[in-house]
Amino acid sequence: MSPHAEPPPGRHVLVTGAAGGIGAAVCTAFAEEGCTVTASDLPSAALTELVARLGAYGAAAHALPADLADAEAAAALVERAADLAGPPDVLVNGAGIYPAVPLAEMTAELWDRVQDVNVRAAMLTSAALARLLTDAGTPGAIVNITSGAALRARFGAAHYSASKAALEMLTRSCAVEFGPHGIRVNAVSPGFVTVDSAVNPVTEDYAAAVSVNPLGRPGEPDDIARAVRWVAGPEASWMTGSVVRLDGGASAGTTALPRHWPGLSGAQAGAGREEAVS
């Protein structure tokens, strides 16, 4: 392996799942700050086009194609990024797949692929970055993109929900183990975000159902990207092991249920209390 390149001024940010949606917005948010960005995803024209757009912000940008379902590819990703632009200071694990399949029809192969991409890849990249930064004696930050599905089961998403719940516990475990080395590990948990993903398409009915929240709109990729940038930045320097829920208030409660009572009943209003006491 070639020696690591000297890191340029500013941070080097490695983002997985970068070709579209939230991942692309995260890359753009860091490029706006002048960070060097290494964008990783499956080989595609979208990945190439993203890197070309990032160049307009004046910082270096690199495409790093990889299939994170391949354990060897995931384990080698951080070192490959370091060869391109020096060791990453920030890792954003944004790669994820969500093939909707009822649990009774689930295959072992599909279950394993979702866990491999959504959880195992994040474990391998995080461990690789921790080794690199610990050996160098430098701090860093890892941000995992989880989901409200980690807390709420939904039809056809047993594999996805399990993977995101596991990713949240992985976040806490990494925070405990890597914290003494100055490496912060947190998660951002989006609610439904409009991304028009070719990898994870959704129907209009599904989008309308999961977009219901107290703020009355679905999220946008930029909403998530700004939060990721903050969590990874110096203003959050005492934050680690946390999961930031960014969902328009969906995890707080629902506005979708109708009012189910006509008013106070007599007992609720305290009617007859005196007689009962006496």
Distances (CA, A) of 51 to 24, 29, 41, 74, 126: 9, 13, 12, 20, 23
Q: Does pLDDT of 31 surpass 90?
A: yes
Q: Under CATH, what is the fold of the domain 12-277? A: Rossmann fold (3.40.50)
Sheet bearing 243-246, strands edge to edge: 61-65, 36-41, 12-16, 90-93, 140-145, 183-190, 243-246
Q: Does pLDDT of 246 surpass 70?
A: yes
Of all residues in the chain, what percent carry a pLDDT higher than 90? Answer: 72
Give the active site residues. 160
Contact between residue 201 and residue 153 where contact means Cβ atoms under 8 Å apart: no
Domain extents for the chain?
12-277
What are 106-142's pLDDT values in tens digits? 999 999 999 999 999 999 999 999 999 999 999 999 9
Q: Tell me, what DSSP letter sits at residue 119?
A: I
